[in-house]
Amino acid sequence: MCGILGIYSNKPVNKKLFFGLSSLQHRGQESCGITVSKDDSLKRVKGMGMVSEVFKEDNLSCLDGNIGIGHVRYSTDGGSYDYNTQPLMGFSKGEELSLAHNGDLINHQILRTRLEEEGMMFQTSIDSEVILFLIARYYNGDIVEAIKKTMSLIKGAYSVVLLLEDKLIAFRDNYGIRPLVMGESDEGDIIFSSENAPIEIMGAKVKRDILPGEIVVVDESGINSYFYENTQKPKHCIFEYVYFSRDDATLDKVNSYNFRRRCGEILSREAPCDVDLVVAVPDSGIPSAIGYAQETNIPFAEGLVKNRYVGRTFIKPTQEEREMAVKLKLNPLRHVVEGKRIALIDDSIVRGTTSRNLIKRIREAGAKEVHLRITSPPVINQCYYGIDTPSRMNLIAANHTIEEMRELIGADSLAFISIDGMQRATLIRDDRFCKACFDGNYPVDPIRI
């Protein structure tokens, strides 16, 4: 769960990267960083914290190059250490390279061990360093060739922006698991981004998605596209629409808001319930709840207040303080839920602890019944491609029947959308989505490698 961004321009890109990364902040709040190319060398600033915390007028003004990349990170692979922040940077054969990566490699440990046995040393614990390392290793003046060789070795999900002194490159794994969008402004800026929001914010237009297995190189000679030969049928992560992306994202031809709304509609038919109010768990549950409500003609209401100003705090909490922190984020609206039978719409259940806590608090606020409706199927498999789901052992749906889950969570009833229903919500017939966390069909087998 990360966001990446790259811009090729003929004017300084620092402020654009700042605002663009800010609009990707929902994809990771742990750390962030920017590298730009300026005066024939790369300059980088990165740190722990959100974009508005790490970047200030003074350090941003030092990053006034015309080509640059950025990253926001929510740790998946590798722990929460300063040295694991991105963009990464490397020196090789007289060239400086910097890279920002979204996704997860499944053969990270194998490649790492092999490279270490050959005498390599790593300076982070993240898989992204293996990608940068291999590119640097295979680079001999032809960067596309180096990326292709790297792609032949790395397995898993990766959307990458790569910065050289005079080039901006974007590439995406064979299955196109994680998103990567390309935009262009009237002034000729080329932008690569995990979502379309940064492109729109900069006043540019989305041109297209980077295709699975595609490598796009932007430099003085223009925009050139290459393909890694072994390209597969796409398997875009459906969880991007379920939960991860912004409502205004349109990734690989599916719009997240419409998907979410349709999931709510479909779910209302698959699992109706006799309630007074439809309430969403904000923010990603809201469109689904609206869909659910309108399809059933049950009133939709905001029953939970989300604090818009809560970022990460560095206050180490006691148990009592931890509860305050939870309540600070989401507070039930007593006046709305009191005495009411509620259909609570959430996007997914992973461990089940958040749902249990939330339902308990909604009941305390006076709700008579709470019927939980989930707009994705039960998560029964771990994700190996960059979504931070826990191992099967901790997935509530992998170890319990729906009735057991209902009881554990404390809901009056519990229902999930069907896998087929979710597929239909994409409006795409073709099965071009990775739904492995729901159905176990991993496009890249995490076991055999």
| Range 402-431, binding its own copies (CB under 8 A) | none
Instruction: Please indicate if the annotation marks 273 as binding a ligand.
Output: no
Contact 433, 423 (CB under 8 A): yes
HSE, CB side, 13 Å, CA atoms: give it for residue 358. Answer: 24
Residue from 174, 193, 255, 426 touching its own copies (CB under 8 A): that is: 255
Residue from 31, 76, 86, 124 touching its own copies (CB under 8 A): that is: 124
Q: Which is nearer to its own copies, 25 or 413 (CB)?
A: 25
Contact 373, 273 (CB under 8 A): yes
| The one segment of 131-139, 214-222, 371-379, 436-444 that binds its own copies by CB under 8 A | 131-139
Can residue 357 be called a binding residue for its own copies (CB under 8 A)?
Answer: no
| Range 268-327, binding its own copies (CB under 8 A) | 283, 286-287, 290, 294, 299-302, 305-318, 320-321, 323-325, 327
The residue behind tokens 């029953």 is 303
Residue from 125, 354, 394, 418 touching its own copies (CB under 8 A): that is: 125
Residue from 102, 128, 250, 375 touching its own copies (CB under 8 A): that is: 250
Residue 355 Cβ, how far from its own copies at the closest point, in Å? 20
Instruction: Please indicate if the annotation marks 284 as binding a ligand.
Output: yes
What is the DSSP code string of 418-440?
A: -HHHHHHHTT--S--EE-HHHH-
Instruction: Please indicate if the annotation marks 237 as binding a ligand.
Output: yes
Residue 360 Cβ, how far from its own copies at the closest point, in Å? 13
**Is 263 a catalytic site residue?**
no
| Range 21-40, binding its own copies (CB under 8 A) | 22-23, 25-26, 29
d(CA 440, CA 429): 20
List the structure tokens of 3.
């966001």
d(CA 27, CA 25): 5
Contact 267, 288 (CB under 8 A): yes
- Strands, DSSP E only, in 181-282? 181-184, 190-193, 205-209, 214-219, 222-227, 236-237, 250-251, 254-255, 277-280
Which of 2, 32, 263, 273 is flagged as catalytic? 2
Q: Which is nearer to its own copies, 130 or 436 (CB)?
A: 130
Q: Which is nearer to its own copies, 334 or 392 (CB)?
A: 334
List the structure tokens of 5.
């961004």
| Range 104-123, binding its own copies (CB under 8 A) | 113, 116-123
Contact 176, 212 (CB under 8 A): yes
Instruction: Please indicate if the annotation marks 434 as binding a ligand.
Output: yes
Q: Which is nearer to its own copies, 330 or 408 (CB)?
A: 330
| Range 179-198, binding its own copies (CB under 8 A) | 197
Residue 442 Cβ, how far from its own copies at the closest point, in Å? 27
Residue 319 Cβ, how far from its own copies at the closest point, in Å? 11
Can residue 401 be called a binding residue for its own copies (CB under 8 A)?
Answer: no
Residue from 32, 132, 181, 417 touching its own copies (CB under 8 A): that is: 132
For residue 275, the SS3 value is coil
List the structure tokens of 441.
């069909």
Residue 61 Cβ, how far from its own copies at the closest point, in Å? 9
| Range 55-94, binding its own copies (CB under 8 A) | 55-58, 60, 82-83, 88-93
- Strands, DSSP E only, in 297-355? 300-301, 304-306, 330-332, 341-346
* Secondary structure letter of residue 242 according to DSSP: I
Instruction: Please indicate if the annotation marks 383 as binding a ligand.
Output: yes
**7, containing H or E segment:** strand 2-8
List the structure tokens of 155.
């397995």
Instruction: Please indicate if the annotation marks 62 as binding a ligand.
Output: no
Q: Which is nearer to its own copies, 161 or 251 (CB)?
A: 251
Site residue total, its own copies (CB under 8 A) = 94
Residue 403 Cβ, how far from its own copies at the closest point, in Å? 32
CA 182 from chain centre, in angstroms, equals: 17
| Range 201-230, binding its own copies (CB under 8 A) | 201-203
Contact 139, 91 (CB under 8 A): no
Residue 176 Cβ, how far from its own copies at the closest point, in Å? 20
Q: Which is nearer to its own copies, 167 or 415 (CB)?
A: 167
Residue from 248, 403, 407, 420 touching its own copies (CB under 8 A): that is: 248
Distance set, CA 12 to CA 9, 17, 33, 41, 323 (Å): 7, 10, 16, 14, 45
Residue 355's contacts (CB-CB under 8 Å, 6 or more residues apart) are 346, 349, 372, 409, 411
CB-count burial class (<10 Å; 0-12, 13-18, 19+) for 113: exposed
Q: Which residues are annotated as a binding site?
A: 237, 284, 346-347, 383, 434, 437
Q: Which residues are annotated as a binding site for Mg(2+)?
A: 284, 346-347
Q: Which residues are annotated as a binding site for [4Fe-4S] cluster?
A: 237, 383, 434, 437
Catalytic residues: 2
